[in-house]
Every structure is written in structure tokens, then in C-alpha cells.
């Protein structure tokens, strides 16, 4: 959407976009996705295959915390010989060959 | 009126009959009124109409005769008793509420005794995980670390709520700093997983050109051809870096176990 020039001069784009700023058909959601569908009578049907279910894995014996001790500097990786560093697919393939090589 | 005046009734006393008997030439203007005024012992019965559809003469006022000023009370008997009302037991005398000491909801608090940590305790936390440190963690480790972060954020949010709710005072800034570090860790986890996925995609493309790799699903996926010959010459730096990627720099989960849980 392109605001008119006067609105551009007013720094209109710095305001958040609402449904009143655009033509019809604009859906401003909450980035959360739907959990069902609307019926033609105005109701709403929950579709359970759409409803999110979060499964926490078992944390028994898991020792990591969200924090790392400050006595330790943030580590830097050593990726000598790889052009893209950690993002080099050659590194991935070489590691796969060395460690797994099965599936 | 005339009908009620003419009908023979027990309520018509002797005086009424005496008056009607002389059949005086002066007709009574309202004989029923005069009779009732002198003789009626049941005036309401006299007023009752007999014909079909006649209005009833019932008293529609339910609170007739009740007076707050005169203290007349109610007309009907109320369902009340003189027994003393029960009093609630004071909280100190109640038996303690049995709770599950291992309930999962306890994870929303840092401590069983206190609801909020002091700001000093809140600010005692380490730094966030860096992306490089998390690159060497497995999927399961990252998955569980994510949920540890979620639980930590829940604890912070609970403390924030209680601090606001009970007007406990300072500590919001420290909690915010702590939350920020957790969020940095979570962002690093997402970074690593996204990067790993793209890396896998690129590596699959690369493996299609690799003669050593068989992606058809039949037979062994990896057949090292000239491993022994070239291992000494060319492959050495690559395989070394791949097989053990900077072991000194990687914090394994065992070494991290000694880190204080803050």
C-alpha cells in the first residue's frame, strides 16, 4: 500500500497499519493462526486438528540452564578451510561422513 | 344493587324488615346503603356479585395490616427458628490443606517459601548462550533447553505478577534484565535450528554431486572410495574439523553441568 504524498510527508508510515487504512479484504491477524472455521450462521467450529498442542520433553537429568557462567567468554568457532564458515554445506557433509554415514 | 337489596338474606335484620314493611310512598334513594349502614354484620358478603364474570372482591393487597411504624409484624408466620447461627471456623483452627509437594505448578516459583526473589538474587545470572556454543548441541538438547527457557520465563512472569499484585516494590528492572538474557538464548536456539535446516538442504544438493554418497535409498549411503589414499594428503584438515569440531571450544552438556544454576 502506498499512502498519498501528504500522508507520506506526515510520516504516516510510522503508524501501525490498521484495517481502516486499507481497502476491504485486509486481514490483520495476531500472527497466531486459526483454530477452526466460521460457519455461515456466524458461529465458530473448533477443529481439533488445528488446535496447537505443545509437548514438553522429559527434563529429567537435564542439566543445562538458560544461562552460561560469565567466567566463560563466548566461544568462537574455528572454521578454517570453509568459505562460508559454519554455513558451509561441505562442513555438514564432511561431518556426516565422519560421524554417521548411514542415513 | 337492586338485586342484592331484594334477595332474602339472613343478614337482613329485623329493623330492615320493619322499615320495608310499611311500604311507604317515599321510595328509598339507596336502600342497600342504608341497610348496610345500620345492619350489616358481613358487608363483604353482601357486596359479592353472583353473575358470571363478576369481579372478585378479594383483598389484593398482600401486606394489608402490616405496618413498620406500628411494629405490627408480618401477617404470616415466617419459617425462622431461634437456634443460633453457625459461625465460620477461624483459619488458624482449620486443618492444613494437603498439597502435592511434587506438583508441576511448583515450577512456576523459584522457592517454596517465598513467592519472589530479591533483586540481588534475580540479578545473579550468567550470560546467554551464544549461537556458536549451541551449534554443537543435538536436537534433543536444544529442544529441552528451549523448554527450560520457557519455564524460566514463566518463573519470571509469575514473580512480576506477584510483585505488582502485592506491591512488593523494587525488582522489575532486574527481572527484565534476566528475561532479556533468556530471550537471547531462545533466539540463539532458533538461529541454530534454522541455520541447520538450510545447511542440511544445501548439503543434500552437494551430496547429489558427490560420487561417494548414494541418496537413492538402496545400498549403503556412504562408500568411502579413496579414503586411505587421500586421507593423509588432502582430507586431513577437513575430516579433523568435521570429526571433532574444535573440542576445546564446545561446551558439552557434561561440562555445563558444573555451571551454577542461576
Q: What is the pLDDT of residue B36?
A: 46
> pLDDT class for A14, splitting at 50, 70, 90?
confident
DSSP single-letter state for residue A93: H
Q: Is B113 helix (H, G, I), strand (E, B) or coil?
A: coil
Look at residue B64 and tell me whether its pLDDT is greater than 70: yes
Sorting pLDDT into bands at 50, 70 and 90, what band is B12? very low
Lowest mean pLDDT across A46-55, A60-69, B47-56, B191-200: B47-56
The string of pLDDT tens digits covering residues B89-117 is 999 999 988 989 889 899 999 988 888 99
Out of A70, A86, A98, closest to residue B135 by CB:
A86
Answer yes or no: are the C-beta atoms of B221 and B215 closer than 8 Å.
yes
Task: Using the predicted structure, report yes or no on whether residue B249 has a pLDDT greater than 50.
Answer: no
Question: A37 by DSSP, 3-state: which?
Answer: strand
Chain B residues with CB inside 8 Å of A60's CB?
none
Residue B201: helix, strand or coil by DSSP? Answer: helix
CB A91 within 8 A of CB B207: no
The CA-to-CA distance between both ends of chain A, in Å, stands at 48
User: Cβ of A74 and B199 within 8 Å?
Assistant: no
Report residue B251's pLDDT band, with 50, 70 and 90 as the boundaries: very low
Minimal Cβ distance to A64: which of B135, B141, B198 = B141
- Select from B127, B147, B246 the Cβ nearest to the Cβ of A77: B246
Burial of A55 (0-12, 13-18, 19+ CB in 10 A): exposed
A42-47 mean pLDDT: 96
Shortest CA gap A93–chain B (Å): 6
A59 interaction partners in chain B (CB closer than 8 Å): 144, 147-148
Subunit contact B222:A102, Cβ cutoff 8 A: yes
Half-sphere exposure of B94 (CA within 13 A, CB side): 7
A12 touches chain B (CB under 8 A): no
What is the pLDDT at residue B223? 78
Q: Does the pLDDT value for residue B33 go beyond 70?
A: no
Residue B262 has pLDDT above 60, yes or no: no
Report the pLDDT value the prediction gives residue B245, as an integer from 0 to 100: 42
Are B141 and A64 contacting, i.e. CB atoms less than 8 angstroms apart? yes
The answer to whether residues B132 and A75 touch, using CB atoms and an 8 Å cutoff, is yes
**Helices (runs of H) and strands (runs of E) counted in chain A:** 2, 3
Model pLDDT for residues B86-96, shown as the tens digit of each residue = 999 999 999 98
**How far is the C-alpha of B95 from the C-alpha of B91, rounded, in Å?**
9
Which is higher by pLDDT, B226 or B198?
Answer: B198
Please state, in angstroms and rounded to a whole number, the distance separating the CA atoms of residues A21 and B253: 51
Lowest mean pLDDT among A8-22, A86-100, B10-24, B83-97: B10-24
- HSE at residue A37, side-chain half, CA atoms within 13 A, is 4
Distance from CA of A22 to the nearest CA of B (A): 33
Query: Which set of grid coordinates corresponds to residue A96?
Result: 556426516
Question: For the segment B137-149, what is each residue's pLDDT rounded down to a tens digit?
Answer: 999 999 999 999 9
CA distance B161 to chain A (A): 21
Residue B59 has a pLDDT of 80
ipTM score for this prediction? 0.76
Amino acid at each position: 500500500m502506498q499512502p498519498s504524498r501528504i500522508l507520506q510527508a506526515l510520516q504516516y508510515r510510522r503508524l501501525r497499519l490498521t484495517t481502516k487504512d486499507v481497502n476491504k479484504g485486509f486481514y490483520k491477524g495476531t500472527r497466531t493462526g486459526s483454530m477452526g472455521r466460521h460457519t455461515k450462521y456466524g458461529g465458530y467450529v473448533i477443529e481439533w486438528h488445528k488446535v496447537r498442542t505443545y509437548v514438553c520433553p522429559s527434563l529429567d537429568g537435564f542439566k543445562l540452564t538458560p544461562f552460561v557462567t560469565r567466567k566463560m567468554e563466548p566461544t568462537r568457532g574455528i572454521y578454517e578451510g570453509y568459505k562460508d564458515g559454519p554455513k558451509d554445506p561441505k562442513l555438514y557433509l564432511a561431518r556426516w561422513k565422519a560421524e554417521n554415514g548411514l542415513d | 344493587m337492586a338485586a342484592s337489596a331484594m334477595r332474602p338474606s339472613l343478614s337482613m335484620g329485623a329493623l330492615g324488615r320493619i322499615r320495608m314493611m310499611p311500604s311507604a310512598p317515599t321510595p328509598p334513594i339507596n336502600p342497600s346503603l342504608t341497610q348496610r349502614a345500620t345492619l350489616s354484620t358481613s358487608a363483604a358478603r353482601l357486596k359479592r356479585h353472583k353473575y358470571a364474570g363478576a369481579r372478585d372482591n378479594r383483598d389484593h393487597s398482600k401486606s394489608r395490616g402490616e405496618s413498620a411504624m406500628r411494629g405490627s409484624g408480618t401477617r404470616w408466620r415466617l419459617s425462622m427458628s431461634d437456634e443460633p447461627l453457625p459461625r465460620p471456623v477461624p483459619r488458624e483452627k482449620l486443618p492444613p490443606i494437603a498439597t502435592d509437594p511434587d506438583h508441576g505448578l511448583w515450577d512456576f516459583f523459584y522457592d517454596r517459601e517465598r513467592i519472589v526473589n530479591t533483586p540481588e538474587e534475580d540479578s545473579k545470572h550468567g550470560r546467554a548462550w551464544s549461537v556458536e556454543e549451541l551449534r554443537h548441541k543435538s536436537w534433543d538438547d536444544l529442544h529441552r533447553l528451549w523448554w527450560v527457557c520457557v519455564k524460566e520465563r514463566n518463573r519470571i512472569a509469575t514473580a512480576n505478577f506477584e510483585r505488582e499484585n502485592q506491591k512488593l516494590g523494587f525488582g522489575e528492572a532486574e527481572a527484565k534484565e534476566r528475561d532479556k538474557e533468556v530471550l537471547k538464548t531462545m533466539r540463539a536456539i532458533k538461529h541454530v535450528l534454522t541455520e541447520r535446516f538450510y545447511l542440511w538442504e544445501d548439503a543434500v544438493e552437494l551430496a547429489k554431486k558427490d560420487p561417494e554418497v548414494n541418496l537413492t535409498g538402496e545400498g549403503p549411503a556412504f562408500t568411502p572410495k579413496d579414503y586411505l589414499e587421500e586421507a593423509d594428503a588432502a582430507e586431513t584438515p577437513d575430516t579433523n574439523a568435521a570429526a571433532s569440531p574444535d573440542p576445546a571450544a564446545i561446551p558439552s552438556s557434561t561440562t555445563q553441568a558444573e555451571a551454577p544454576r542461576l
